Amino acid sequence: MANTLYLPELREMLAENNAAELREFCTALHPARTAEFMEGLTAEESWAVLQHADMPLRVEIFGYFEDERKIEIVEKAPREEIVPLVAEMPADDRVDLLADVELEVVQELMPLLPAEERRDIQRLSRYAESTAGALMTSDFARLSENWAVSRAIDEIRVQAEDLETIYYLYVVDDEDHLRGLISFRQLLSAMGKPETKIGDLMERDLVTVNAQDDREEVARKVADYDLLAIPVVDDEYRLVGIITHDDVIDVMREEAEEDAYRMAGVAPLDEGYLKTHLLLLTWKRGIWLTILFFGAMLTAVTLNRYMNQYQDYLNSLKWVMLFIPLVISTGGNSGNQSATLIITALSTGSITLKDWWRVVWREVLMGVLLGGALGMVGFGCGAILIHPFSFYAAATIPITLMLVVVCGTLTGSLLPLLFHRLGLDPALMSNAFVAGLIDVVGINIYMWIIVAMDIHPG
């Protein structure tokens, strides 16, 4: 929701071209809030307001605009106004933004940018979207091992405003190979001995990611090691960028959302719920619903086959139909639970593929326990609903439930492991898909057991 509180005043200031007040508006609040208050303005109006902020602040407020607005501004604003802003943007955000702007506009902007920024954009845009390379920024501080503490502090002070973070400082050799890390806090503690060499203070055992690593790997390392930023290296261990905590938080938020959507069978959304067009959202749900629909049709076809083959027998057992929903939903639920447990455990790293045997063993055991317990309740329910009651008829329910739950836990745990093994996202093994699969298996088990028991109604 746009915050409309300041809109009338802002429009009035713009109409009057009241520079002093517009400037005051830009500087008074946290840049994120300033951006929030401008949400109700058109792109043109917000760009006009931004002209009253100094460049560093202008870049900051612009950074908090929604993606659509940023794109609109870059595409519509006069080239000579937009180029300095693009040149000053953080390197990682800039690449992401330009990737979404119309190609024509990018081609017009690129020659107008300073050579260094141009090369930077070309370098960063080489990496695939979900890799560490695509997340990293090149605005980081490089130190040399031979520098003294005093020189390092002076260098950082000069660059402080242009760097993404000054709190972790990376030490590289002449060919940019990563040698070590020193935190600003360490540097500060060493100010008492300004002649100490960086090489004597720095940490040499670093946690790094490769530029090709998946962004989930980045998030896991930053979370596990409580880092403020993580260095990104290439295959020769040259430092090519850093990824800061705020980008990691964004990744975690996006990944959690994506996983939730996938598990429920919704193709991930690029925008918020209310911002996604109704037809697009319908489509993203519809594909999965249709796939699952055909899964359910398979169940129907299976049922049909049994019905035709054992027509008279099944028709004589009126209660068979009653337990179909029970068999299906119990199998699906136990499968969902296993799939969610395994997908979550894989993504937090609390299990790896090497544990597959232990996982399967645990799931089978749990399946037996859960299936056994539910089976006992199921026998009771069977006794109530099956008329005329027969022990053999009621016994089909617990046997079916036991087998269905074991199949559910097994399928729910093996499929995500298999997907992981194949290098695919285990969350693609959506719960709905697991449930659909178990429906078919469950119906087959149920029918097979009823046929095998050869029950003759009282």
Q: Which of residues 355-374 bind a copy of itself (CB under 8 A)?
A: 355, 358-359, 362, 365-366, 369-370, 373-374
Which is closer to a copy of itself, CB of 15 or CB of 274? 274
Q: Which of residues 171-230 bind a copy of itself (CB under 8 A)?
A: 184-185, 188-189, 191, 203, 205-207, 222-228
By CB under 8 A, tell whether 2 contacts a copy of itself. no
| Closest approach of a copy of itself to the CB of residue 25, in Å | 12
Q: Of residues 55, 99, 353, 377, which one binds a copy of itself by CB under 8 A?
A: 377
210 CB burial (10 A radius; 0-12, 13-18, 19+) = middle
Number of Cβ within 10 Å of residue 452's Cβ equals 10
| Closest approach of a copy of itself to the CB of residue 334, in Å | 6
Which is closer to a copy of itself, CB of 113 or CB of 436? 436
Applying CB under 8 A, which part among 122-130, 137-145, 343-351, 448-456 lies near a copy of itself?
343-351
| Closest approach of a copy of itself to the CB of residue 290, in Å | 7
Q: What is the C-alpha separation between 421 and 219, in angstroms, rounded? A: 20
- Alpha carbon distances (Å) from 376 to 317, 327, 328, 336, 369: 21, 14, 17, 22, 11
Q: What is the C-alpha separation between 402 and 408, in angstroms, rounded? A: 10
By CB under 8 A, tell whether 79 contacts a copy of itself. no
Q: Of residues 1, 20, 115, 422, which one binds a copy of itself by CB under 8 A?
A: 1
Could you tell me if 297 and 433 are in contact, meaning their C-beta atoms sit under 8 angstroms apart? no
Q: Which helix (H) or strand (E) holds 366?
A: helix 356-385
| Closest approach of a copy of itself to the CB of residue 221, in Å | 10
Which is closer to a copy of itself, CB of 83 or CB of 152? 152
| Closest approach of a copy of itself to the CB of residue 20, in Å | 19
| Closest approach of a copy of itself to the CB of residue 81, in Å | 25
By CB under 8 A, tell whether 126 contacts a copy of itself. no
Phi, psi of 391 (to 5 degrees): -60, -45
The token pair that represents 171 in the structure block: 């030490």
Write each residue from 396 to 435 as x if it is in contact with a copy of itself (CB under 8 A), else as -, in one continuous string. Answer: -----------------------------------xx--x
Q: Of residues 61, 343, 393, 441, which one binds a copy of itself by CB under 8 A?
A: 343
Could you tell me if 124 and 91 are in contact, meaning their C-beta atoms sit under 8 angstroms apart? yes
Q: Which helix (H) or strand (E) holds 233?
A: strand 229-233
In our burial notation (b when 16+ CB lie closer than 10 A, e otherwise), range 32-54 reads: eebbbbbbbbebeebbbbbebbe
Q: What is the C-alpha separation between 201 and 147, in angstroms, rounded? A: 11
| Closest approach of a copy of itself to the CB of residue 151, in Å | 15
Q: Which of 2, 58, 69 is nearest to 25 (CA)?
A: 58
3-class DSSP assignment, residue 277? coil
| Closest approach of a copy of itself to the CB of residue 17, in Å | 25
3-class DSSP assignment, residue 52? coil
Q: What is the C-alpha separation between 248 and 227, in angstroms, rounded? A: 10
Q: Of residues 142, 157, 193, 421, which one binds a copy of itself by CB under 8 A?
A: 157
Q: Of residues 72, 201, 436, 441, which one binds a copy of itself by CB under 8 A?
A: 436
Q: Of residues 57, 106, 156, 449, which one binds a copy of itself by CB under 8 A?
A: 156
- Alpha carbon distances (Å) from 122 to 98, 116, 192, 222, 406: 11, 10, 42, 26, 53
By CB under 8 A, tell whether 322 contacts a copy of itself. yes
Q: What is the C-alpha separation between 74 and 80, in angstroms, rounded? A: 11
Q: Which of residues 232-291 bind a copy of itself (CB under 8 A)?
A: 245-246, 248-250, 252-253, 256-257, 259-261, 263-266, 272-275, 278-279, 281-282, 285-286, 288-290
